[in-house]
Amino acid sequence: MGYNIALNFEDGVTRFIACDQSETVADASYRLGINIPLDCRDGACGTCKCRVESGEYDGGSYIEEALTDEEAAEGLALACQMRPKSDLVVGVFASSEVCKTKGQSFRATIGSVDRLSETSIAFSLEGAGPISFLPGQYVNVLVPGTEARRSYSFSSPPGAGTQSFLVRDIPHGLMSSFLREAVPGTPIEFVGPSGSFYLRDARRPLLFLAGGTGLAPFLSMLGKLAAEGSAHPVHMVYGVTNDADLVGVEQLEAYAARIPDFTFATVVAAESSAHPRKGYVTAHIAPEALHGGDVDIYLCGPPPMVDAVRNWLSGQGITPANFYYEKFSPSGAVNAIGESHRAAA
Ligand code: FES
């Protein structure tokens, strides 16, 4: 039986490979020309050590010098020994370049462009077929007519026939300017998927914190949760600066109807807003949503929001079990380096 293995490299590039249950992850990688670090191939040296972010596997046989019991308990494994028992997400401790691979290139066309508000535009791409990615990841889009690339998180779930994205409309922004005039059918190229900000297996309650168009990766994650279900409660606080920035609420309501135990609250920072919840997201995170720290927090928003939430959590005396975050630039694009971190707050 074959499984789908996502190899997530240190630089955020992700390649998906097929791996039979009788095959090691290392053998499947090399069969497809992806040279993950290897030496002894025998479970003795530890060179192929990797981190299994999700999925079930048989760790194989090896000696303690290659992988300690503590490391195995933390989810580390040896690629030359491990065989999948389900789809896996595997973090490789090397860059894609070192492993002689790179992100996949896709050609598509503009499917639709929808102005959601005076500050936000959604667009979709067609023709690339269903694309494998981890919900929360992004692609690097070549802005048509330029040499510039912009990084955008998928707002659609993995495997959808068309891919959708959410963009902040910047007056002189290259992508914004293109989208304002774009017509369906216009060719567009992109490379990906990339990023370490993706939804892991839920082992405890989840708290999603979205800032502005940082909503996009969460829509993708919610799409996956709607399709597969969630055994744990999921709460989202979605903050924006002005009323016009508040988009995608109907999608959130639709997901709340489909996902049991998914709740969300919207927040607007502007003083002038008549929104019922005003200020910053930290003022609207109920203590129950933190579960005393037994919570995985995912945050996607501008850099000041990431810093504010980290400071606020430490002020509350809360250290979440996991804190994954991604910063994006004011244009709404993911930072060029796709900054994503797993860190204690
Ligand atoms: Fe030596 Fe895997 S390559 S333990």
Q: What is the pLDDT of residues 100-146, one digit of tens each?
A: 999 889 999 999 999 999 999 999 999 988 999 999 999 999 999 99
Q: How far is the CA of 33 from the centre of ligand 1 (A)?
A: 18
**In sequence order, which ranges of 74-149 are alpha helices (DSSP H)?**
none
Q: Is the CB of 46 under 6 A from ligand 1?
A: yes
Q: Is the CB of 78 under 6 A from ligand 1?
A: yes
The overall average pLDDT reported for the chain is: 91
Measured CA distances, 301 to 167, 269, 271 (Å): 13, 14, 20
Q: Is the CB of 47 under 6 A from ligand 1?
A: yes
Place of tokens 């060719």: 187
Which atom of ligand 1 is the closest one to the Cα of 67? 4
Q: How far is the CA of 16 from the centre of ligand 1 (A)?
A: 21
Q: Is the CB of 99 under 6 A from ligand 1?
A: no
Supply the pLDDT for residue 327: 87
Query: Residue 95: pLDDT band by 50, 70, 90 thresholds?
Result: very high
Query: Ligand 1 test: best mutation among 27, 48, 61, 65, most atoms within 8 Å of CB?
Result: 48
Which atom of ligand 1 is the closest one to the Cα of 45? 1
Which atom of ligand 1 is the closest one to the Cα of 62? 4
Work out the burial of residue 157: count CB atoms within 10 Å of its CB; fewer than 13 is exposed, 13-18 middle, 19 or more buried: buried
Q: Is the peptide bond before 193 cis (omega within 30 degrees of 0)?
A: yes
Q: How far is the CA of 8 from the centre of ligand 1 (A)?
A: 19
Return all residues near 337 (Cβ < 8 A) that are at least 6 apart: 12
Q: Enter the DSSP assignment of 25.
A: H
Which atom of ligand 1 is the closest one to the Cα of 37? 3
Which atom of ligand 1 is the closest one to the Cα of 41? 3
Tokens of 308: 């504010």
Residue type, position 271, single letter:
E
Supply the pLDDT for residue 330: 56
Tokens of 296: 């995985």
Q: How far is the CA of 21 from the centre of ligand 1 (A)?
A: 19
Residue from 326, 327, 295 nearest 135 by CA = 326
Q: Is the CB of 38 under 6 A from ligand 1?
A: yes
| In contact, 150 and 140? CB cutoff 8 Å | yes
Q: Is the CB of 281 under 6 A from ligand 1?
A: no
Query: Ligand 1 test: best mutation among 30, 41, 71, most atoms within 8 Å of CB?
Result: 41
Place of tokens 């969460």: 218
Query: Residue 201: pLDDT band by 50, 70, 90 thresholds?
Result: confident
Whose C-alpha lies nearest to ligand 1, atom 4? 43
Q: State the CB neighbour count (10 A cutoff) for residue 168.
A: 21
Measured CA distances, 30 to 24, 38, 43 (Å): 10, 10, 17
Q: How far is the CA of 67 from the centre of ligand 1 (A)?
A: 10
pLDDT > 70: percent of the chain: 95
Supply the pLDDT for residue 159: 87
Supply the pLDDT for residue 331: 55
Query: Residue 341: pLDDT band by 50, 70, 90 thresholds?
Result: very low
Provide the phi-psi class of 293: left if phi over 0, else alpha when psi is between -120 and 50, else beta: left
Tokens of 201: 């297996």
| In contact, 50 and 93? CB cutoff 8 Å | yes
Place of tokens 């020309």: 33
**In sequence order, which ranges of the chain are alpha helices (DSSP H)?**
25-31, 69-73, 174-181, 215-228, 249-258, 303-316
Q: Which of 91-95, 254-258, 309-313, 333-337 has the lowest mean pLDDT?
A: 333-337
- Is the pLDDT confidence value at 339 over 80? no
Residue from 289, 281, 282 nearest 315 by CA = 282
Measured CA distances, 267 to 100, 223, 286 (Å): 45, 22, 13
Residue type, position 170, single letter:
I
Measured CA distances, 52 to 8, 40, 75, 137 (Å): 10, 20, 5, 17
Q: Is the CB of 43 under 6 A from ligand 1?
A: yes
pLDDT in tens, 17-39: 999 999 999 999 999 999 999 99
pLDDT in tens, 223-257: 999 999 889 999 999 999 999 999 999 999 999 99
Return all residues near 69 (Cβ < 8 A) that are at least 6 apart: none
Q: How far is the CA of 152 from the centre of ligand 1 (A)?
A: 36
Q: Is the CB of 25 under 6 A from ligand 1?
A: no
Supply the pLDDT for residue 226: 95
Task: State how far Cα 266 lies from the chain centre.
Answer: 21
- Is the pLDDT confidence value at 211 over 90? yes
pLDDT in tens, 30-71: 999 999 999 999 999 999 999 999 999 999 999 999 999 999
- Is the pLDDT confidence value at 345 over 60? no
Q: How far is the CA of 13 from the centre of ligand 1 (A)?
A: 23
3-state secondary structure of 20: strand
